[in-house]
Amino acid sequence: MFSGLEKAAKVLGESSQPPTPLYICSNCKEAYSEVQNAPDACHYHPGTVVINHDNDEAWVDCDPEQIFDDPEMREENPEGFMWTCCDEAFDAVGCKLGFHQQRGVKTPTAAPVLPTDGERENKRARRS
Ligand SMILES: [Zn+2]
Ligand SMILES: [Zn+2]
């Protein structure tokens, strides 16, 4: 169902191995060198970030009209967002361990794919 995003991430995950000693990990956004890289070096979230409308406390000061997904908003209000992979807040430590990965120097600003409110509701009503 939601494999489209994963597919995109995989395509972006191809690295071209530039000859610089430090890389920026595309998973956790931290600098690393190949010597530091290990199967458990990287904590990251394989999922995507969505607005956590369930967390009323996080958004209590916000006009509903003002709630939108935006990098600044994520920084300011990490509790108001959650990862689709683990339902943790945006600033939670990555729920997956793996190698640091590098997908090129430039980090393209991906256009956010925002599901409609209806779709979000459905997604949250997750089956156990
Ligand atoms: Zn996660
Ligand atoms: Zn990493």
pLDDT tens per residue, range 103-112: 754 444 555 6
Q: What's this model's pTM, rounded to 2 decimal places?
A: 0.58
* pLDDT tens, position by position, 20-65: 578 899 999 899 998 889 999 999 999 999 999 989 899 988 888 8
- Can you read off the two tokens belonging to residue 95? 């729920």
Q: Using alpha carbons, select from 84, 87, 90 the residue that is nearest to residue 70.
A: 90
Neighbours of ion ligand 2 (CB under 5 A): 25, 27-28, 42, 100
> Exposed/middle/buried for 102, CB within 10 Å: 0-12, 13-18, 19+?
buried
Q: Look-up: residue for tokens 């939108």?
A: 68
pLDDT at 63: 84
Tell me how far apart the alpha carbons of residues 85 and 15 are, in angstroms, rounded to a whole number: 24
Structural domains for the chain: 3-124 (4.10.1130.20)
Report which bound ligand comes closest to the CA of 48.
1
Average pLDDT of span 95-99: 96
| Alpha helical stretches, state H, 61-104 | 71-76
Average pLDDT of span 15-19: 55
Spacing, Cα 91 to ligand 2 middle (Å): 15
Instruction: Give the DSSP H/E element, type plus range, for residue 96.
Output: strand 96-98
Tell me how far apart the alpha carbons of residues 74 and 48 are, in angstroms, rounded to a whole number: 12
- Greatest Cα pair distance, the chain, in angstroms, is 48
